[in-house]
């Protein structure tokens, strides 16, 4: 739709239209003459429906389901333009100080002076060993298949004692990481376990993985965290909540975005001109996966931190120069900056890895946040059970 058509449909001025775009409520593309802009009809229609819904509780509830109004309180994380904050501490600052995923988990789980990672992690039970070591299975599916089978052997899996639950969470964090790479859990930091599976002995790469895990650890009430909280609210054990998070993460609009971002980088770099490839894609209305985040209209600070680390370590590398060409083209064509999905994909591309490790880093890190939300929800003791507004066929009298 043209700007005039969008304004007429919404009953707003051009200035308000531009404000909607800057807030991420509308997407725009270059027009046919390259000077005008056109707007996605589905975005305009969605906003029109919101306006028709009127004001009040019902409208607020409906809008809250798509990054709208807050629906619950949490002490776990806060999203600000410069960084996500974990219980008041900047995730970006934690990366710069050398924090590991384990350090981040202790903070997110509010462990105080206790260390739930003190306990040793044993071998896989017999019923799990075959699944856990099957490298032919996709990582997320392998973890979702094995994790439920670990719960029956855990005596404290349904314990209400906070220390016991945090011990279970620590074991799960290590087990999940091992499952994602078809390995065996051990006492090594998670970033070392993952990095050694993909690039053994590469300390610089391992440090990038460490940073990625910390930055991915939590992001407020995202789709997978909400799924985990809903399951946790029923009193289910932590293994079930983790599986709910993994299931949500597997979708192409959540964790699966890393694979699409990797494909974009690879295809752009294989093209004769990355700039022309990106410009043509944007002009025909295709998305640029791995770029832009509605909650960070001025750029994703998590991605900026990873990009700075990549530049510091690989400035002269041919693959890094290719990534820089894609980033420049995307910025010049669309004005969009990379998000964390795009930078996880860039880590893999620069190091000659396929897309799979990007999703594994996301899943290994975000599990710490799912467990934090599960622990918080169960301490509240409230069941999450929203109501639906029925819009179907009315019952016959």
**Residue 189 structure tokens:** 């930091």
**What is the rounded distance in angstroms from the CA atom of residue 104 to the CA atom of residue 358?**
19
Query: Taking the CB of residue 23, how many other CB atoms lie within 10 A of it?
Result: 10
Rounded Cα–Cα distance for residues 25 and 36 (Å): 19
Nearest C-alpha neighbor of 299 from the set 336, 328, 333: 336
* 229-278 residue pLDDT tens: 999 999 999 999 999 999 999 988 888 899 999 999 999 999 999 999 99
**pLDDT at residue number 68:** 55
User: With contact defined as beta carbons under 8 Å apart, do 292 and 28 qualify?
Assistant: no
pLDDT value at residue 14: 85
pLDDT tens, position by position, 350-372:
999 999 999 999 999 999 999 99
- List the beta strands (DSSP E) in the chain: 28-30, 37-39, 77-80, 83-86, 89-90
9's enclosing H/E stretch is helix 3-10
Report d(CA 383, CA 235) in Å as an integer. Answer: 9
| CA distances (Å), origin 99, targets 77, 93, 211, 214, 235 | 17, 9, 8, 7, 31
Q: How would residue 284 be classed by pLDDT, with cut points 50, 70 and 90? A: confident
Assess whether pLDDT exceeds 90 at residue 22: no
The predicted-structure confidence for 151-194, as pLDDT tens digits, reads as follows: 987 766 666 788 999 999 999 999 999 999 999 999 999 999 99
- Give the mean model confidence (pLDDT) for residues 373-390: 91
Q: Which residues contact 309 (CB under 8 A, 6 or more apart)?
A: 207, 208, 211
Put the strands of the sheet holding 83-86 in their side by side order: 77-80, 83-86, 89-90
Percent of the chain with pLDDT over 70: 94
- Which secondary-structure segment (H or E) carries 314? helix 301-314
**Does residue 294 or residue 32 have the better pLDDT?**
294
User: Active-site residues: which are they?
Assistant: 293, 341
CA 29 – CA 27 distance, rounded (Å): 7
User: In the predicted model, is pLDDT for residue 328 greater than 60?
Assistant: yes
C-alpha dist (Å) from residue 377 to 220, 227, 371, 389: 13, 12, 10, 25
Closest CA to 365 of 343, 387, 336: 343
How confident is the model at residue 253, as a pLDDT? 80
Cα separation, 232 vs 383, whole angstroms: 9
What was the pLDDT predicted at 49? 75
Q: What is the pLDDT of residue 63?
A: 55
Using the structure block, give the residue that is written with the tokens 């799990």: 128
Find the farthest-apart pair of alpha carbons in the chain and give their distance in angstroms, rounded: 74
pLDDT of 121 > 70? The answer is yes
Confidence of residue 65 (pLDDT cuts 50, 70, 90): low
pLDDT score recorded for residue 31: 78
Among 19-33, 101-115, 122-136, whose mean pLDDT is lowest? 19-33
Most confident of 14-18, 101-105, 331-335: 101-105
Distance between CA 387 and CA 369 in Å, rounded? 26
- Give residues with Cβ within 8 angstroms of 283, minimum separation 6: 29, 30
Q: How many H helices and E strands in the chain?
A: 19, 5
Q: Which two tokens stand for residue 211?
A: 């940073």
pLDDT at site 70: 55
Residues 372, 9: Cα–Cα separation, whole Å: 43
| Calculated CA dihedral for residues 48, 53, 56, 57, nearest 10 degrees | -110
Instruction: Name, in order, each residue with C-beta under 8 angstroms of 362's C-beta and a sequence gap of 6 or more.
Output: 212, 216, 249, 255, 258, 340, 341, 344
Q: How far is CA 240 from the centre of its chain?
A: 19
pLDDT at 59: 55
Task: Identify which of 60-69, 91-100, 243-252 has the greatest average pLDDT.
Answer: 91-100
Structure-derived torsion over alpha carbons of residues 291, 320, 91, 147, reported in degrees to the nearest 10: 80
Question: How high is the mean pLDDT of the chain?
Answer: 91
Q: Is residue 107's pLDDT more than 90?
A: yes
Q: And the tokens for 31?
A: 């027009």
End-to-end C-alpha distance for the chain, whole angstroms: 43
Say which residue, 155 or 132, is predicted with more confidence. 132
Residue identified by tokens 């066929």 is 393
């Amino acid at each position: 739709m043209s700007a005039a058509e969008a304004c007429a449909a919404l009953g707003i001025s051009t200035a308000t239209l531009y404000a909607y775009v800057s807030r991420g409520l509308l997407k725009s593309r270059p027009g046919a003459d390259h000077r005008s802009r056109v707007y996605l009809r589905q975005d305009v229609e969605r906003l029109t429906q919101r306006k028709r819904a009127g004001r009040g509780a019902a409208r607020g509830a409906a809008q809250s389901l798509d990054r709208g109004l807050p629906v619950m309180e949490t002490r776990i994380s806060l999203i600000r333009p410069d960084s996500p904050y974990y219980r008041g501490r900047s995730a970006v600052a934690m990366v710069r100080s050398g924090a590991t995923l384990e350090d981040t988990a202790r903070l997110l789980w509010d462990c105080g002076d206790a260390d739930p990672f003190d306990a040793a992690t044993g071998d896989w039970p017999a019923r799990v060993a075959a699944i856990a070591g099957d490298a032919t299975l996709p990582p997320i599916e392998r973890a979702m298949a094995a994790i439920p089978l670990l719960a029956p052997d855990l005596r404290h899996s349904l314990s209400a004692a906070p220390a016991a639950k945090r011990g279970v969470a620590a074991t799960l964090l290590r087990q999940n990481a091992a499952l994602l790479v078809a390995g065996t859990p051990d006492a090594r930091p998670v970033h070392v376990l993952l990095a050694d599976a993909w690039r053994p002995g590469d300390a610089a790469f391992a440090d990038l993985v460490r940073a990625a895990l910390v930055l991915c650890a939590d992001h407020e009430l995202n789709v997978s965290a909400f799924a985990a909280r809903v399951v946790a609210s029923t009193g289910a054990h932590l293994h079930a909540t983790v599986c709910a998070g993994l299931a949500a993460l597997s979708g192409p609009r959540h964790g699966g975005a890393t694979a699409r971002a990797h494909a974009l980088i690879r295809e752009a770099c294989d093209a004769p001109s990355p700039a022309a490839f990106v410009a043509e894609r944007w002009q025909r209305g295709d998305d640029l996966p791995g770029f832009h985040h509605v909650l960070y209209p001025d750029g994703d600070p998590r991605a900026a931190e990873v990009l700075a680390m990549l530049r510091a370590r690989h400035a002269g590398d041919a693959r890094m120069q290719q990534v820089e060409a894609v980033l420049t083209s995307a910025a010049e064509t669309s004005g969009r900056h990379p998000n964390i999905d795009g930078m996880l994909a860039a880590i893999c591309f620069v190091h000659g890895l396929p897309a799979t490790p990007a999703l594994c880093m996301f899943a290994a890190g975000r599990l710490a946040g799912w467990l934090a939300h599960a622990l918080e929800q169960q301490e509240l003791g409230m069941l999450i059970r929203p109501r639906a507004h029925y819009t179907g066929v009315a019952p016959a009298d």
